[in-house]
Amino acid sequence: MTGIKRWLAGFFIVVGYNSLTLFGATLVTFAAGAIVLLLILGAVGVAKSAYLGILTFLVFPVVFVAGLLIIPLGVLWQRSHGGLSIKDGLAGPYPVLDFNKRHVRSVVEAIAVLTFVNILIISVVAYEGVHYTESVPFCGQVCHEVMEPEFAAYSDSPHSRVACVKCHIGPGASWFVKSKLSGVRQVFAVLFDTYARPIDTPVKNLRPSTDTCEQCHQPDKFTGDRLRVIPKYMEDDENTKVFNLLLMHIGGGHGEGKGIHSWHIAPGRKTEYLATDEDRQVIPYVRVTEADGRVLSFVSQDSELTEDEIANAELRQMDCIDCHNRPTHIYEMPGPAIDKRMDQGLIDPSLPGIKMAGREALERAGAEDGDIGMIAEIIRAHFKEDFPEILEKRAKDVDQAIATLEAIYRRNVFPDMKLTWGSYINNLGHEVFDGCFRCHDDGHATKSGEVIRQDCDLCHAMLAWEEEDPAVLADLGIE
């Protein structure tokens, strides 16, 4: 007999043992075939859906392993029922492996070859499976409804090509294990529908940013100033375009000179704070420890804390995420979102009153249970009432404005997750949320009277504030 034939015979000696072993072997064969097929389809790019990954790396592997476990169970069952009809060699309480007998050799060879194949399949599945559970489709799209808001905002952000795990897990084995354990908890939260809507923030146990953000951003490479040109449209009939021009004092992370990063992420300086609410918005106490050991304690004038409470408080050490808490899940507010689309030409600024009507439509549509249908209603009513000729002559522009407003809504409002305008706080800035002004309010003071300053030129120079034609822009040659 040729080798293959002998192995097959050996295989059937083992699996054809009884109906249980045969059942196990059928499961294994079926699952292995399905896994291999899906791996090939995935590799050539035919089947790319996030859900197929669940089949390839979760469902079929479970079937595969279950099958593998059932085979020896079948053998054991047979043994315990005494009736070992199989030819000599396997009949005693323990098998006598007499290699002089050909079928014994066949069985052992068959088991060796199949075990090798099984280990190969399991390794490939484990390797690819780990990659899969770290992929953006798995994190962002499998639990579609739950992660839809994060995925939508992420996809439209500067980090849309950075994998979720780079920020949420980072390198190293211990965080890998933590993430898989927390992943199992999350799967149960989804299965039993016990997750918070919207998902709670700040994210507890988020890994410190030194291990995540700083994989790519090297603080000592920050430097200088950055010009921010922020176009805005006023809420008048003409949608008058104005500019805010800010020169952001980014500063260098090496701590020299002045600036946001120079001060806040200077080497050796530690800034810690106490927040009395879940959202970390109310900050009665800030403590700075300088590299030379000098300590500055700032207490808010609104603080009702006793000396004892301050001394025993658990402080949070400030890192990138206390300012950049929305580096990628950046949700917009109606006003600035419309400004951006008008500037991009997606909403025609020559449509009278569209800025105000658009903002109102978005705000009202996003209230309570959310109703995207209100947007078209409100916009059409606005034109019908005040500018009826526009609806006739510029129907296409109106339609496009409505479609764009609806797209803004879909990117930022998720009624199923109870997420609407402003649900997630953004700490970078101070216009909509307190942000920097949680501390920089001129009201946090040390005993000797130093305060955390709010001077308008501390963080940025205001080159223009709601100016129609800022001279600076022309000087800089910016159109």
Interacting residues with ligand HEC between 92 and 151 (CB under 6 A): 136, 139-140, 147, 150-151
Count of CA atoms in the C-beta half-sphere (13 A) of 478: 13
Instruction: Count the residues in the chain.
Output: 479
- Which residues, 365 to 424, sit near ligand HEC by CB under 6 A? 424
445: which strand partners?
299, 451
Q: Report helix, strand or coil for 236.
A: coil
Judged by CB under 6 A, the residue of 7, 60, 233, 298 near ligand HEC is 298
Helix (H) or strand (E) holding 242: strand 241-248
Interface with ligand HEC includes 87 (CB under 6 A)? no
Judged by CB under 6 A, the residue of 6, 101, 105, 159 near ligand HEC is 159
Interface with ligand HEC includes 164 (CB under 6 A)? yes
Interface with ligand HEC includes 228 (CB under 6 A)? yes
Joined together, the tokens standing for residue 376 give: 């078209």
Residue 118 or 157: the one with the smaller Cβ distance to ligand HEC is 157
Helix count and strand count (H, E) for the chain: 18, 8
Judged by CB under 6 A, the residue of 162, 342, 362, 417 near ligand HEC is 162
Interface with ligand HEC includes 288 (CB under 6 A)? yes
Interface with ligand HEC includes 196 (CB under 6 A)? no
Q: CB of residue 457 vs ligand HEC: minimum separation in angstroms? A: 8
Q: CB of residue 288 vs ligand HEC: minimum separation in angstroms? A: 5
Interface with ligand HEC includes 175 (CB under 6 A)? no
Q: Which stretch binds ligand HEC (CB under 6 A): 79-87, 99-107, 205-213, 367-375?
A: 205-213
Joined together, the tokens standing for residue 350 give: 């020559």
Q: Report helix, strand or coil for 100.
A: coil
Joined together, the tokens standing for residue 150 give: 């994060």
Interface with ligand HEC includes 266 (CB under 6 A)? no
Q: CB of residue 404 vs ligand HEC: minimum separation in angstroms? A: 20
How many other β-carbons are positioned within 10 Å of the β-carbon of residue 14?
22
Looking at residue 397, its amino acid is D
Q: CB of residue 268 vs ligand HEC: minimum separation in angstroms? A: 14
Interface with ligand HEC includes 297 (CB under 6 A)? no
CB 159 within 8 A of CB 153: no
Rounded CA separation 154/207 (Å): 19
Residue 60 or 424: the one with the smaller Cβ distance to ligand HEC is 424
Closest CA to 336 of 428, 248, 416, 268: 428
Q: CB of residue 79 vs ligand HEC: minimum separation in angstroms? A: 50
Query: How deeply is 240 buried, as exposed, middle or buried, from its count of CB atoms within 10 A (0-12, 13-18, 19+)?
Result: middle
- Which residues, 314 to 353, sit near ligand HEC by CB under 6 A? 318, 320-325, 327-329
Joined together, the tokens standing for residue 404 give: 């764009």
Q: CB of residue 324 vs ligand HEC: minimum separation in angstroms? A: 4
Spacing of C-alpha 342 from chain mean position: 28
Looking at residue 30, its amino acid is F
Window 423-462: contact mask with ligand HEC (x via CB under 6 A):
-x---xxxx---xx-xxx-----------xxxxx-xxx--
Q: CB of residue 133 vs ligand HEC: minimum separation in angstroms? A: 12
Interface with ligand HEC includes 229 (CB under 6 A)? no
Residue 314 or 392: the one with the smaller Cβ distance to ligand HEC is 314
Q: Report helix, strand or coil for 245.
A: strand
Spacing of C-alpha 151 from chain mean position: 7
Rounded CA separation 401/407 (Å): 10
426: which strand partners?
none
- Which residues, 233 to 262, sit near ligand HEC by CB under 6 A? 244, 246, 248-250, 258-262
